[in-house]
Amino acid sequence: MPRSHDVAAIAGDGIGPEVIAEGKKVLEAAGERFGFDIRWRDLDIGAERYLRTGELLTEADLTTLGGCRAIYFGAIGDERVKPGILEKGILLSLRFHFDQYVNLRPVKLLPGVWTPLAGKGPADIDFVVVRENTEDFYVGIGSRFKGEEKQALEVIRSLYQVKFGVDAESDAEEVAYQIGVITREGARRVIRFAFDLARRRGRTPPKVTSVDKANVLTDIYGLWRDVFSEVAKAYPGISSEFSFVDAVTMWFVKNPESFDVVVSPNMFGDIITDLGAMIQGGLGLAPGGNINPGGTSMFEPIHGSAPRYRGLGVANPMATIWAGSMLLDHIGEHEAAAAVLDGIVRAIASGVKTRDMGGQAKTPDVGDFIAAFLRNP
């Protein structure tokens, strides 16, 4: 009897259904070769259902998703829906509901892929960003007050007076605030994950770089630094270093080869991983995982739904297929995961590339090629 895995699939919006279809095709081929089955649990979650019913996530959805070790996610976003509704109501809600506290983003330049970094190649660009995924400024604590809301504005003025000894503008038209939150345990668990990952990656020597802005945001990121230093002491064989977020963006460009594992609070991780996507060849080659090591995790391409390309057959499915490789690794199919990534490399070497990579292949061509490679390497 082959091994069997329950995996939920949310195709989502725009090009999401097209790229997920190719990812499923490849993962099924990997299962045929390596002796396992995937039982797909397809869910109708996204803009179409929201516009039709007003539902974002239902209790039935969460029950089905919670019964699976992994979720394969396409893309979310639709021009008919106000920005933020789908993203916060579906994607962020899933991350928080299932406590997917690690956002895992490989930054790896594959052979045959162009990078904008002159003089750099695959040997230079091969690191991983571990982004804390449930805290920081994404916890949703904030508000906006207009001038007529005198009581709220008085609170803001009082805070200015206590902190700075100066008075805020008394005739302020509107004030907004957003609160970032980092807890000791929230920082500790994701930093431990980063050190454990560095140990598994086996670089010589392994290294973890912490990203923050503790020189200005001293309270919130001062705690992050304290926790990082404490955790680092438990891993004497792994070197560690601090880097401010503005500095790390420079070093990503100048010396990407100096990084192994990078661990970052949520907001900064969101920013630097998009830079990482560009130096590894673009959004069409950038996968991501939202990880709960002991629960339900979610794997997705990091590109958006790209609605203007929907139905044209030009979307690059490689990021989605690579995310599928990460999914297989997460559920214990390590050999199959490595083979899927090999299939992506073989497709690139064979010129099976979509328009964004300078090729002429259609979306299904890429999935067909990699699936055939897996069946007959």
Which residue in this structure is represented by tokens 């560095």? 198
Which of 266, 238, 252 shows the shortest CA–CA distance to 137?
A: 266
pLDDT at 154: 66
pLDDT at 139: 78
pLDDT at 368: 98
Beta bridge partners of 107: 127
Cis ω before 206 (30° cut-off from 0): no
DSSP line for 106-132:
EEEPPTT---SSTT--TTT-EEEEEEE
Read off the tokens for 240. Answer: 């560690």
Superfamily of the domain at 1-103+286-377: Isopropylmalate Dehydrogenase (3.40.718.10)
Tens digit of pLDDT at every position of the chain (377 positions) = 779 999 999 999 999 999 999 999 999 999 999 999 999 999 999 999 999 999 999 999 999 999 999 999 999 999 999 998 999 999 999 999 999 999 999 999 999 999 999 999 999 999 999 999 999 887 777 777 665 555 556 666 666 665 555 454 555 567 777 888 999 999 999 999 999 999 999 899 999 999 999 999 888 999 999 999 999 999 999 999 999 999 999 999 999 999 999 999 999 999 999 999 999 999 999 999 999 999 999 999 999 999 999 999 999 999 999 999 999 999 999 999 999 999 999 999 999 999 999 999 999 999 999 999 999 98
Which residue in this structure is represented by tokens 């802005």? 213
Task: Provide the residue type at 364 as one letter.
Answer: P
Helix 334-349 / helix 16-34 crossing angle, nearest 10 deg: 120
**Do 16 and 305 meet the contact criterion of CB atoms below 8 Å apart?**
yes
First to last CA, the chain: 23
Nearest-angstrom CA–CA distance, 55 and 61: 10
pLDDT at 142: 73
Nearest-angstrom CA–CA distance, 340 and 325: 6
pLDDT at 377: 85
pLDDT at 179: 83
pLDDT at 23: 98
pLDDT at 160: 60
Is it true that domain 115-135+182-280 has CATH number 3.90.190? yes
The full set of domain ranges for the chain reads 1-103+286-377, 115-135+182-280, 139-179
